[in-house]
Amino acid sequence: MMVVGQLGQTMDGRIATVTGQSRYINGHSGLVHLHQLRALVDAVVVGVGTVLADDPQLNVRLIEGKHPARVVIDPKGRLDPKARIWSDDGVKRLWIVSNGLNLEPPKGVKIIQLPMVDGHMEPAMILQSLSSEGLNRVLIEGGAETISRFLQANCLDRLHIIVAPIVMGSGRASFNLKAIEHMDQASRLKVKTHLLDSDVLFDCDLSSARIRIN
């Protein structure tokens, strides 16, 4: 299984304004890179907060390529069944919710129920459920909370951070990780950098710490 996380941020580590506006932090080349990633994977995964804020399509539009399956992590079942992400374009659509919820899914959408552990869903369990659906190349596209949980659970092979030459000074942070007290607790990542016009892609190799998904 191959799992890649992706986020676009400002130079001061923001992914959206204080009101949640994020379209578009990255330039055209950064967006093309995102669509290339989508075309290469079996599934794109987002948290419900991203869907509620952006109403994304999560398909491939800027290049030629196949649309990936769309997966929403929504423990409390908050997502509107009429959300654009559930549009039927022939791809698999999965709605991951917590055990015990009684929801009526949109036509063609499959509900997967998983247990909550300490108030959230375990990334490894989510990946196991996707693998059982034949989805073994996965892109975790957002938001900050979802990316952070997969990162802290050592469930990412790579993390792509696309930094735009923008400074917000406020707004929503790229990551929500456990606080550290000393610099030697910080993670220094193995990275390669690539210019995407005015944006810079940091391709972070996390494979050495990646846990095995059964």
- In tens digits, the chain (214 residues) has pLDDT values of 999 999 999 999 999 999 988 888 999 999 999 999 999 999 999 999 999 988 899 999 999 999 999 999 999 999 998 899 999 999 999 999 999 999 999 999 999 999 999 889 999 999 999 999 999 999 999 889 999 999 999 999 999 999 999 999 999 999 999 899 999 999 899 999 999 999 999 999 999 999 988 6
pLDDT at 204: 98
Predicted TM-score (pTM) of the model is: 0.95
pLDDT at 214: 64
Residue ranges of domains in the chain, CATH in brackets: 2-209 (3.40.430.10)
**DSSP 8-state class, residue 117:** B
199 neighbors 32 (Cβ within 8 angstroms): no
Residue 28 identity: H
pLDDT at 138: 99
User: What radius of gyration do the chain's Cα atoms show?
Assistant: 17
Residue 122 identity: E
How many other CB atoms sit within 10 Å of the CB of residue 72? 23
Phi, psi of 120, rounded to the nearest 5 degrees? -150, 170
